[in-house]
Structure 1
Amino acid sequence: MKLGVRVGSIQPHAPPSISQSNTSPSFKSNISSQFNKSLRPWNQLKLHSAKCNFPNLRNKWKQYQGINHWEGLLDPLDDNLRWEILRYGHFVDATYTSFDFDPSSLTYAKSLYSKKSLLKKCGLGKYGYRISKYLYVTCGIHMPKCINKIFKKLFTRSSLIGYVAICVNEKEITRLGRRDIVVSLRGTITCLEWLENLRVFLTHLPGVVKGEDDVGPMVQKGFLSLYTSKITPHGSLQEMIRKEIGRLIQRYTNEPLSLTLTGHSLGAALAILSAYDITTTFNNAPMVTVISFGGPRVGNGSFRNQLEQKGIKILRIVNSDDVVTKVPGLFVNFDEVVSDEDVGVGIWSKWFYKYIQNMKLVYVDIGQELRLSSREFPCLNKTDVAMCHDLKTYLHLVKNFVSSSCACKHTKIHSIQS
C-alpha cells in the first residue's frame, strides 16, 4: 500500500522592496529588513540576456507545444524544447521587471512601461511580439476600513498581473510554424494576494456538474477568488482574458494559431484556471498549452480529469527544493492504495481517503512534470526558500539541465547569455 500525505500552505513570491512605504518607520523597517535578508542571494543571479538563436520549429511546433505530452523530450531535455521553455520564461520575467513595486509611487502595482515599449524595455524587442492587453487581478478579501485607511497602498485590491501578447513578426511566425498568443502572469506580490494564497480549502467551480465520484472539479478557494473577483474599472481577470482571447481568436481564425499561458508561482496557478476557462468558453479555441514555473497545486483529481478531457497540455517545471510546488493542502497518492491481496487494508484506505476528501484539502499534481534540482549547483543554497523558488533560479536550472542521470552541464552555474 502506498499512501502519502503532505501538509502545507503557500509561501508567496515576495516583492523586491517595500521600504519606501507610507507607513510608520518601525513597520517599514521590519518589513524591509525581513525581505532584504531573504532576497540578497537572489541578486547574485544576474538577469539573463534574451539574445539567443531559437530553433526553427515549423512543422514540429505541435510536438513542442505538447501534443504528445512531450514524450521523449524531457529526459534527456531536448534542446529545442529547452529554448522554448526559456523563451516563455523571458515573457514571465518581463512581468516582474515592468512592475512598479514602490508603494510611495503614483503608479504602484501598475506597469512602469507602456504596452508599446514594455517588451523592448525588458530586452524582448526582437522576439516579434506585440502586447495587446494588460491584465489586472483583483483580490476578493475586504480589509477593515481602519486598516485600509492606514495602509491604503499596501492593501491595494487591484494590481497588474501580466499581459496578453500576440506574435506579429512574419519571420517569427514562419519560424514558429503558427501565430502564437501568449498570456504571461507573475507570482504573488501584494499583501492581499498573500492572504488569498492562504485560503487553501478547495471549492467547487461555479456552474460545473459533479462527476461520477460525486465530488466534482474543485480548485483552491483563494486562486478562484483572484481569478473571478472584480472592481471597476478593470473587471475580473477572467473577464479580461475571455474578452481579449475571444477577440484574437476571431481575428486570426483562418490561420494556424496557438495559445500559450505561462506563469510563475501564483501566475502558474492562474494560468491553469485560465486555460480551463478558455477551453470551456470557446468551442473554436486553438491548441492550449500551459508552461508553469514553480507553480503550487491548484485542484483535485476531478479538476485534473476535466483539464485532460479538454485537451489542455500542461508542462509543470518543478525545482525539487522549492517548497511552493509541494503545497497547498494534503497530497494523497491513491493510485495503488487498494490492494487485491489485502482487502482489509483496501477498505481502511478507502475510508481514510473519503474522510480527508471531505475536509476539502486533498490536492493532486497536474500536468507533465520536468523535475529539476538546485542542489546540483554548489553556488545555490538549497536551504534558501526564496532562492529555490525564484524565477531566475528556474531559468538557470532549465538552461543547464541535461537529464535525470546527468542533472547539469556544468559543475558551476552559468549565465544564460553564455
Structure 2
Amino acid sequence: MASTISIPNPPLTSHKIRTRRRPISASVASTSTVAARPLTSTAAPSSIALKTTAATVGAKTPLACMWREIQGAEDWDDLVQPLHPLLREEIVRYGESVAACYKVFDLDPSSKRYLNCKYGKNSMLREIGMASSGYEVTKYIYATPDISIPTQTGTCCSRWIGYVSVSGDEEARRLGRRDILVSFRGTVTNTEWIANFMSSLTPARLDPHDPRPDVKVESGFLSLYTSDDSSCKFSSGSCRQQLLSEVSRIVNKYKDEELSITLAGHSMGSSLALLLGYDLAELGLNRNGSNREVPITVYSFGGPRVGNSGFKERCEELGVKVLRVVNVNDPVTKLPGVFLNENCRVLAGRFELPWSCSCYAHVGVELALDFFKMRNPACVHDLDAYIGLLKGPKMAQVKKDGENLLNKAKKFLSSQNLTVWQWQDAARHVGDLVQSLGI
C-alpha cells in the first residue's frame, strides 16, 4: 500500500497574481566575453534574523544586498546579457551542488548502496571536497521511475535522486537570507530517458482543491515525481511526498527568518525541480511565519520542456522564477515537443491554433551557451562542460569543432517520407540519438 502524506491546505488568502513578463532570451556566445556590471542594487537590502553582532549585520556582502535580483525577482533584467559576475558565481555554485549528485551516486552493482548515495548525509559534502560549501544536508530524496528497470541484481525501482540542504548561519549572512536548496541529478540510464520521452501530456492535478485540468505536464516526469515504491528500505513515500514534507519542515523551522527556496537540477533533474517549484507555489507551502511568500527559484541545466503553455502561464502567475542554462547544441533542451512547441501555438502572431493546449513550452529566462566538440558528442549535454564554460575567464576560447546536431536532425527528417514513417521507427531513432549521446 502506498504511503500517504498530509498536505496542508492552501492559505485562505489568494495567491498574488503577478503581471507576466515576456521571457528574456540571452546568448552568451563563444565569440563574446562576460562583461562585469556594477555591483549595485536599487532594492532595499533584505534582513535576516540571525543571532549575530550588530557589527556583523552591518557588513553586508554584495550578494546580500541584491540577492533578490540574483534569484530572479525582476526576471534577471540586465543581469543575463551581459552576464553579471555575481549571477555567474551563483549559477556555478548551484551547478556544483547538482554535480555533487553524480559524484556520490553509486553505480557499482556489487555495492550494498547500488543506485543510492555512497555516503551518509553528515559526510557526503566532506567526502567530495565540498565541506566549505556552507550547507548542511538534511535529507536524501528517492524517486521511483515510471517503469521497473531490470538490473544485474534484479529489478530495482526506487533510487537516490538528490538531496535537500540548508545554509548554515555564516553562509546565510553571506547570502543575505537562509537558503533552502534542493539538488537533483539527471537520468543515468538510457532506458529512463527513452521511457520518459515516449510519454504524453497529462493534467498535473497536484492541488486537490483546484485540479486545473488545463495545466498539463509530461506524464513520465509526473510519474517519477509522484510514484511510490513501498519496498524502498531507505525512504518511504513518493519523491513528491518526501520533498513537500522536508521543505515544509525547514520553512517552519526558520519561519521568522528571511528565506529563499532554490531548486537546481540537470537534465531530467531540472524537470523535477520545476515540478517541485510549481507544486510548492500552487499549494501555498512557500509561506513563512508572517504568511509572506518565500521566493522560489529554479536553476535548470540542460533541461527539457516539462509542460504545456497552461503550465508555463501558471508558473509565471505563481511567481516561480526559472533560469534555464542551455547549450544551443544540446538536443535534450529541444525535447519533448520537437514539432509541437511554443513556436507552433500562434499563426501569423495573431491566431491561436486549435492544438495550442497540446504544445510543450519552456518556462523562464534562457541563458544560452554555445559549445560543441565533434569528437565527443556527449559533451553537449555534460554538466561539467556547462560549469566549465561558465567558470572559464574567456568564453571565446570555446570553439565549435563540428556540425550542429540539430542541423543533422533536420537533414535526416527531410530525407524521410513522413507519411509512411511509423511511430515505432520514430521512437527507435530518438532512442538511438539518446543512446549515442550517452545520457
TM-score tier, shorter chain, comes to 0.7 to 0.9
Match of 1:123 in 2: 129
- Residues 134-189 of structure 1, C-alpha deviations (whole Å, 9 max, x = no match): 0001123246xxxx5xx463742110000000111x32211100011100000002
Asked if 1 retains the 8 angstrom alpha-carbon contact of 2:163 and 2:182, the reply is yes
| Structure 1 residue 104 displacement after superposition | 2.5
Which of residues 84, 91, 94 is equivalent to 1:85? Answer: 91
More displaced, 331-340 or 256-265? 331-340
Asked if 2 retains the 8 angstrom alpha-carbon contact of 1:179 and 1:257, the reply is yes
- Mapped to 2, the partners of 1:401 and 1:294 lie a distance apart of 21
Asked if 2 retains the 8 angstrom alpha-carbon contact of 1:154 and 1:191, the reply is no
| Structure 1 residue 400 displacement after superposition | 3.2
| Structure 1 residue 194 displacement after superposition | 3.1
| Structure 1 residue 197 displacement after superposition | 1.7
Asked if 2 retains the 8 angstrom alpha-carbon contact of 1:219 and 1:299, the reply is yes
Match of 2:369 in 1: 372
Which of residues 262, 266, 269 is equivalent to 2:268? Answer: 266
Match of 1:74 in 2: 80
Runs of 4+ in structure 1 off by over 6 angstroms are none
Match of 2:323 in 1: 315
| Structure 1 residue 374 displacement after superposition | 0.4
| CA RMSD after TM alignment | 2.3
SS of aligned partner of 1:374: coil
Match of 1:41 in 2: none
Q: TM-score, normalised by structure 1?
A: 0.73
Match of 2:240 in 1: 238
Say whether 1:388 aligns with 2:380.
yes
Structure 1: segments with no counterpart, 5+ residues: 1-54, 341-345, 376-380, 403-407, 414-418
Say whether 1:198 aligns with 2:200.
no
Asked if 1 retains the 8 angstrom alpha-carbon contact of 2:264 and 2:270, the reply is yes
- Residues 313-358 of structure 1, C-alpha deviations (whole Å, 9 max, x = no match): 1000010010000011222415652467xxxxx5xxx5xx32x457
Asked if 2 retains the 8 angstrom alpha-carbon contact of 1:141 and 1:192, the reply is no
- Mapped to 2, the partners of 1:100 and 1:327 lie a distance apart of 28
- Mapped to 1, the partners of 2:109 and 2:194 lie a distance apart of 18
SS of aligned partner of 1:333: helix
Amino acid at match of 2:299: I
| Structure 1 residue 122 displacement after superposition | 1.6
Compared CA separation, residues 332 and 401, structure 1 to 2 (3 A): farther
Match of 1:164 in 2: 164
Which of residues 322, 326, 341 is equivalent to 1:331? Answer: 341
Match of 1:301 in 2: 309
Match of 2:397 in 1: 410
- Mapped to 1, the partners of 2:112 and 2:246 lie a distance apart of 27
Which of residues 103, 110, 130 is equivalent to 2:109? Answer: 103
Which of residues 222, 238, 257 is equivalent to 1:224? Answer: 222
SS of aligned partner of 1:102: coil
- Mapped to 2, the partners of 1:314 and 1:61 lie a distance apart of 15
Amino acid at match of 2:228: K
Match of 2:153 in 1: 153
Asked if 2 retains the 8 angstrom alpha-carbon contact of 1:156 and 1:192, the reply is no
Match of 2:298 in 1: 290
Compared CA separation, residues 101 and 59, structure 1 to 2 (3 A): same
- Mapped to 1, the partners of 2:375 and 2:298 lie a distance apart of 28
Amino acid at match of 1:374: F
Asked if 1 retains the 8 angstrom alpha-carbon contact of 2:324 and 2:367, the reply is yes
Compared CA separation, residues 411 and 289, structure 1 to 2 (3 A): closer
Identity score, percent: 40
SS of aligned partner of 2:83: coil
Compared CA separation, residues 412 and 401, structure 1 to 2 (3 A): same
Which of residues 248, 253, 256 is equivalent to 2:255? Answer: 253
Q: TM-score, normalised by structure 2?
A: 0.70
Match of 2:45 in 1: none
Alignment of 1:8-23 (within 5 A): none
- Mapped to 2, the partners of 1:370 and 1:277 lie a distance apart of 24
Equivalent residue pairs, number:
326
Compared CA separation, residues 138 and 79, structure 1 to 2 (3 A): same
| Structure 1 residue 231 displacement after superposition | 1.3
Structure 2: segments with no counterpart, 5+ residues: 1-60, 288-292, 401-439
